[in-house]
Amino acid sequence: MASCPLPILESGDPRLELTLHNSVRNVFVTQSDVRHEQKEKVKYIPVVKESSSRVLEAGVNTLQRTLLLKKKAELDQVDEQLSRKRDEFTSRMEDLANKRSELKLKQQQNRETVMKFEKFVADNEAKRNRALKKYEAAQEENISKQSEIEELTEELKLLKIRQQVLKEKIGKYKIYEDYLLKTLDYFPSSYLDHGSQPSVMSIIRRHEALSVTNRELRKRLGHAEEEVEQGSQQLQSMKREHNVKKLMGIKELSELQSELDSLKEENKQMEDKLLMQHGLSRDKVEEVGRLLMGINNLAEQCYLTAHGPLQNMTVLSMMDMVKEYVTDKSETEKRARRLMELESAETSRTAPTEKKRESIKNNSNKQIRS
């Protein structure tokens, strides 16, 4: 640290003057004892015998040293304050670093908490979807079972009615069966094998064969009903899977549609941004579009076959074609006007001659009449 410059003292400065005061007071003679006792308390000032220049030089040196010591003390105080401030800054930086690390740790914990919460929400959503699917499947299965129960109930009613009819028939034909059985008891045992009426045994065997066939057919019918039931269950499961896949497809389609809408919106925003960057606005673009549409309409109205097909022409070629068409029309109009002017001039020239001819004819007619 640079030392401060010492102040410049002028020759007329009162601080350089040396003033001596007589510290001994005037006392009476009768106060000698008191004066003698007060001599011990008096401060004696030495008599200056040096010249004024030397005294001035000594005073200046003493003042410079005093100022230097004062500045040095101030410098030490400033250094001490600077060291305290440095220590305080270091402690604050350490506290700040600790707080920053704690903040990063809290942010990491918050991120982990958010990730866990999002995972929890996703799991709950998946569970809810699975439960909803199970509920829908159970509801559909209940509906199918309810319809099946209704069908079976109707079938059971029909079977009970049939059973009742058969019971009535059995009760009706029971007497005939008892009669035939009693009649058979009176026949000999060899009659059934070698009797005169073998048609009874054939009927019995036929009945046994038909009963066996009936049982087999019933078994087949039961297997077929089981297969039909399994097929209907498979069909219901396939329908449920189809409905689930359909719902998933609709969901994916809606998500893709939303993504498409968002992409369209972003594309529109990017187009607007690009147009703003190039210094264009939507009104100018629309105006350019209307201008291009007008050019296309003029090109369709002023089409010339010499320029080729209209679809392959550029805007400049269309404008050249329109310009050529307009110039051709203007030249044709100019020619027509010239012809009309020439015709009017000729008619104006021929008008006096015709008047003369008419006057001559009139005169001749008057002479003839006279």
Q: Among residues 281, 282, 339, 329, which one has the least CA distance to residue 304?
A: 329
Question: Per this entry, what is the length of the chain?
Answer: 370
Confidence (pLDDT) at 2: 45
pLDDT of residue 87: 92
Is 238 strand, coil or helix? helix
Amino acid identity of residue 212, one-letter, is V
305 within a domain of the structure (yes/no): no
Residue 177 and residue 244 in one domain? no
pLDDT of residue 161: 92
CA distance 292 to 298: 10
Query: Residues 74, 148: one domain?
Result: yes
Residue 179: per-residue pLDDT: 83
Are residues 119 and 79 both part of a single domain?
Answer: yes
Q: Are residues 180 and 113 in the same domain?
A: yes
pLDDT of residue 70: 85
What is the per-residue pLDDT for 52? 53
| Structure confidence by residue, pLDDT tens digits, 100-137 | 999 999 999 999 999 999 999 999 898 989 989 988 98
Q: What is the pLDDT of residues 75-100, one digit of tens each?
A: 989 999 999 999 999 999 999 999 99
Q: Are residues 79 and 182 in the same domain?
A: yes
Report helix, strand and coil shares of the chain as percent, to nearest 5.
85, 0, 15
204 found inside a domain: no
- pLDDT of the residue at 175: 86
Both 185 and 217 in a single domain?
no
At 28 the pLDDT is 44
| Domain membership of residue 120 as a residue range | 65-189
Burial class (CB in 10 A: 0-12, 13-18, 19+), 318: buried
At 96 the pLDDT is 92
Looking at residue 68, its pLDDT comes to: 85
In a domain, 243, yes or no: yes
For helices 315-369 and 282-301, the axis angle rounded to 10 degrees is: 50
Within-domain flag for 343: no
Question: Does residue 224 share a domain with residue 140?
Answer: no
- 230 shares its domain with 143: no
Alpha-carbon span 202 to 205, nearest angstrom:
5
Q: Verify that 79 and 147 share a domain, yes or no.
A: yes
Q: Are 70 and 7 in contact (CB under 8 A)?
A: no
User: pLDDT tens per residue, the chain (370 residues)?
Assistant: 444 444 454 555 555 554 544 444 544 444 444 444 444 454 544 444 555 555 455 555 567 778 888 888 889 899 999 999 999 999 999 999 999 999 999 999 999 999 999 999 999 898 989 989 988 988 888 888 888 899 988 989 999 998 899 888 888 888 888 887 887 777 666 655 544 455 667 777 888 888 888 889 888 888 888 888 888 888 988 988 888 888 888 888 888 888 898 888 888 888 777 777 766 566 676 787 788 888 888 888 887 777 778 778 888 888 888 888 888 888 888 888 888 888 887 777 766 666 656 666 566 555 555 4
Residues 180 and 240 in one domain: no
Tell me, yes or no, whether 230 lies in a domain.
yes
> What is d(CA 156, CA 149) in angstroms, rounded to the nearest whole number?
10
Instruction: Decide: 321 and 304 in contact? Cβ < 8 Å.
Output: yes
Q: Where does residue 279 fall: left (phi above 0), alpha (psi -120 to 50 degrees), or beta otherwise? A: left
Q: Are residues 107 and 160 in the same domain?
A: yes
Q: Are residues 72 and 116 in the same domain?
A: yes
Helix/strand/coil for 254: helix
Which pTM does this prediction carry?
0.24
- 330 within domain boundaries: no
Report yes or no on 256 lying in a domain: yes
Q: For residue 318, is it within any domain? A: no
Do 327 and 302 form a contact (C-beta atoms < 8 A)? no
Q: What is the pLDDT of residue 5?
A: 47
So what's the pLDDT on residue 23? 47
Please state the domain count of the chain. Answer: 2
**Which pLDDT does position 254 carry in this prediction?**
87
Q: Which of 333, 325, 327, 326 is nearest to 305 (CA)?
A: 325
Last residue of some domain: 266, 286, 309? 266
